[in-house]
Amino acid sequence: MQDLCQLSLDQIVNINILQEIQDKFSEATGLAAVIVDVGGNPITRPSNFTKFCTYIRTYPEGYARCVACDDRGGRMNREKKPTVYPCHAGLTDLAAPIIVQDQYIGAFLAGQVILAQDDYDVKAEMFRCLADFQMDKELLSELFDVVEVVPEKRITAAADLIYIMSNYIVEIGASNLAQKKLVQEVKAKADLEASLRASELKALQAQVNPHFLFNTLNTIARLALLEGASRTQEVVYALSDLLRDNLRDIDVLRTLEEEIKSVKDYLMIQKMRFGDRIQSYIDIDPQIMTTVIPALTLQPLIENAIIHGLEKKVNGGTIHVRGYYEGDTIIISVIDTGVGVSMERIRSIFRAEKQLKTHGETTGLGIINVHKRIQHYYGSEYGLQIESKIGEGTSNYIRFPRC
């Protein structure tokens, strides 16, 4: 983000806002007004310009002198205060420099009036100033005669007013840029989080457990050797479906019914490997089967339960997957009767900024991603909760809103 002083006035404040401020000022005071850039060039449409000044600006040399005069008027006061000064054509103008970070970026100009003065021939001064112009003197005289004569007190008050308005313009600009910067920072943060989340999900997706695949393929080989292959066919189909689900776009929502299908495929393969050592039960309320959840929400929890809970027990144990309503919340629980884990270990997994891995499994990565993805889609009040007791087992509870 650039500093304000590196930007032009029309980049700091919307031109339509500047135009509205200028028009309202001119309407309220009866004075001509225009806002110019750092070079004295108008960036707004002139408001209430006198016919006298408009006529002068129809001449290229006249327009050039007006721009130069506006530029000089905006820059001339180093005290950053409003200035009252005579223009190149003999009228009286006002200027309030617009200063940002001690840099001049433009000015609010007003005036085009005659300052009431005793014993001073303003018209004669006007003709002297424009003597080198090839203009119709009679027309100049007529247009000059209708220019408003204003007392000094009113000029001073108007100068103070445009100074106040110039400062207001800067405040609007600073606020506007601060808001834009905030929006850009929020967007950048959101993009970064989305990128990191996508990277984490791809990492999870890429880590289709080599240990699991190795044991599965061994199981298929043994079954193929020992039998005539109906059960082998079932395992191969289950593995095929499971891999197909795991390798498709992970960053999408799918129905709970589809997720349960993948879970059943995974459990069937593990059943072939562990036999009766591991028993699994799935009890899902049919009414929530059409609910959509992030893909690969349940499998990491079940894999964790088997590898770190049940496989370590000589006699194995059970996994119970349930899904039910609790008021306006849907709860899916994955409960095992494995060796359990300390609550300190659970807290460290949720606290850890680095991914935790054990024996090549997606322990920390899987748990953290399940939790983060639920919160990403449904809000921080939802997510994954884990309870466990050493020697008794672990209970995982996923909560998300009832749709």
- pLDDT at 225 (0 to 100): 63
Strands (E), 75-172: 83-86, 92-100, 103-115, 149-150
- pLDDT at 176 (0 to 100): 67
Within the chain, which residue ranges are assigned CATH 3.30.565.10?
211-401
Q: 44 with 110: CB under 8 angstroms? A: no
User: Looking at residues 66-95, what average pLDDT do you find?
Assistant: 79
Is the pLDDT assigned to residue 360 strictly greater than 50?
no
- Percent of the residues in the chain that have a pLDDT greater than 90, as a whole number: 20
- pLDDT at 326 (0 to 100): 92
- pLDDT at 1 (0 to 100): 41
Rounded to 5°, angle at Cα 201 from 199 and 205: 115
Considering only the C-alpha atoms of the chain, give the largest distance between any 2 of them, rounded to a whole number of Å: 124
103-115/149-150 β-pairing: parallel
Q: Which residue has the tokens 């891995």?
A: 357
CA distance 261 to 259: 5
Report the first-to-last Cα separation within the chain, whole angstroms.
41
Q: Which residue has the tokens 């990128």?
A: 195
User: Looking at residues 237-252, what average pLDDT do you find?
Assistant: 64
Q: 379 with 372: CB under 8 angstroms? A: no
Is the pLDDT assigned to residue 115 strictly greater than 70?
yes
Q: 165 with 25: CB under 8 angstroms? A: yes
Closest Cα partner for 8 from 177, 184, 160? 177
- Please give the DSSP secondary-structure letter assigned to residue 209: -
Is the pLDDT assigned to residue 62 strictly greater than 70?
yes
User: Looking at residues 369-387, what average pLDDT do you find?
Assistant: 90
- Please give the DSSP secondary-structure letter assigned to residue 307: I
User: Looking at residues 347-355, what average pLDDT do you find?
Assistant: 67
55 vs 359 pLDDT, higher one? 55
Is the pLDDT assigned to residue 152 strictly greater than 70?
yes
Q: 113 with 26: CB under 8 angstroms? A: no
Q: Which residue has the tokens 């090549």?
A: 360
- pLDDT at 218 (0 to 100): 61
Q: Which class would CATH give 4-183? A: alpha beta
User: Looking at residues 268-291, what average pLDDT do you find?
Assistant: 91
Q: 58 with 140: CB under 8 angstroms? A: no
- pLDDT at 349 (0 to 100): 81
How far out from the chain centre does Cα 17 lie? 24
User: Looking at residues 136-151, what average pLDDT do you find?
Assistant: 88
- pLDDT (tens digit per residue) in 190-233: 666 766 666 666 655 555 555 566 566 567 656 666 766 666 66
Fold of domain 211-401: Heat Shock Protein 90 (3.30.565)
What are the residues whose beta carbons fall under 8 Å from the beta carbon of 388, sequence distance 6 or more?
340, 341, 342, 343, 346, 394, 395
- Across the chain, mean pLDDT equals 80
> pTM score > 0.75 for this model?
no
CA distance 180 to 173: 10
User: Looking at residues 247-264, what average pLDDT do you find?
Assistant: 81
Strands (E), 3-161: 32-37, 83-86, 92-100, 103-115, 149-150
Within the chain, which residue ranges are assigned CATH 3.30.450?
4-183
Is the pLDDT assigned to residue 361 strictly greater than 60?
no
Q: 45 with 38: CB under 8 angstroms? A: no
Confidence of residue 329 (pLDDT cuts 50, 70, 90): very high
Closest Cα partner for 68 from 56, 78, 82? 56
Confidence of residue 102 (pLDDT cuts 50, 70, 90): confident
